[in-house]
Copies of this chain bind each other. A is one copy, B any other.
Amino acid sequence: MTYQLHYWPGIPGRGEFVRLALESAGAPYVDVAREDADAGGGVPAMMRFMADPALARPPFACPFLVDGKTVIGQTAAILLYLGPRLGLVPASEADRLWTHQVQLTIADAVAEIHDLHHPIASSLYYEDQQAEALRRSADLRAHRLPKFMQWFEAVLARNKGNAQRETPRLVGGRLSYADLSLFQLVDGLLYALPKASRKVLQKAPLVRALHAGVPKQKRLAAYLASERRIPFNEDGIFRRYPELDG
């Protein structure tokens, strides 16, 4: 079964967390909004899907995943669904719930980083809320980034066996979707706020090791070097605005 992923074509954004899971597992998928309109793809196809009044369970926003008759919105819910199917989560209920809990915390961090450049409204341009963004950035750098990173570091430090692993894991001994998402979060932060992120990561050696080790997986390395990997840019969640970097 080929999965259909629906997400904005020009940014990594939240779609990338799903893409990394699909790519690292070698799962077949179509990135619908990046396909040609002639082939039934493109953003209009995505918008048509979302707006279909016959859809009993409509996603609130993209990304959403279509697997046969199942339609799933919310990034963390998509990964909750894909995890067991792609072998990216341990088998026990406790482990799956914990992986999901870590993912929801990554989602919270992502939302705060988005709101860094859009503290007033997503419907306004950054330039129209730059003064507010500057104020917000001071708190993000001083409090929120360290709090998130120290928590991820503690989770890695307390996961038994990480001392013996070249690449630490958030849950158990094998790669999980949460590892992929933490890689992406750190990668995005290093793009958007290089100075502030490097400073925070100095005190998070296990997070650094995870970020360095995850892309060595063969399929992931191939993906990251491909054109399918969309570079970070100033339309996405992780934007490089040097004035916000302290």
User: Which A residues are within 8 Å of any B CB, using their own CB?
Assistant: 55-60, 70, 72-74, 76-77, 80-81, 94, 97-98, 100-101, 104-105, 108, 111, 115, 119-124, 129, 132, 135-136, 138-139, 143, 148, 151, 154-155, 158-160
- A97 in complex: contacting residue of B80, B119, B151, CB < 8 Å: B80
- Distance of A58 from chain B, by nearest CB (Å): 6
Give this chain's copy count. 2
Q: In the complex, A76→B105 CA distance in Å?
A: 11
Please give me the 10 A-B residue pairs with the lowest Cβ-Cβ distance, nearest first: A121-B139, A74-B104, A119-B119, A60-B105, A77-B101, A120-B135, A56-B158, A74-B101, A132-B132, A120-B136
- Distance of A145 from chain B, by nearest CB (Å): 12
- Distance of A194 from chain B, by nearest CB (Å): 22
Residues of B within 8 A of A138 (CB): 121
On whether the beta carbons of A100 and B77 are closer than 8 Å, the reply is yes
Chain A's interface: helix, strand, loop or mixed, by majority?
helix
Q: In the complex, A70→B138 CA distance in Å?
A: 36
Candidate in A74, A100, A151, A158 with the most chain B CB atoms within 10 angstroms: A74
Residues of B within 8 A of A76 (CB): 104
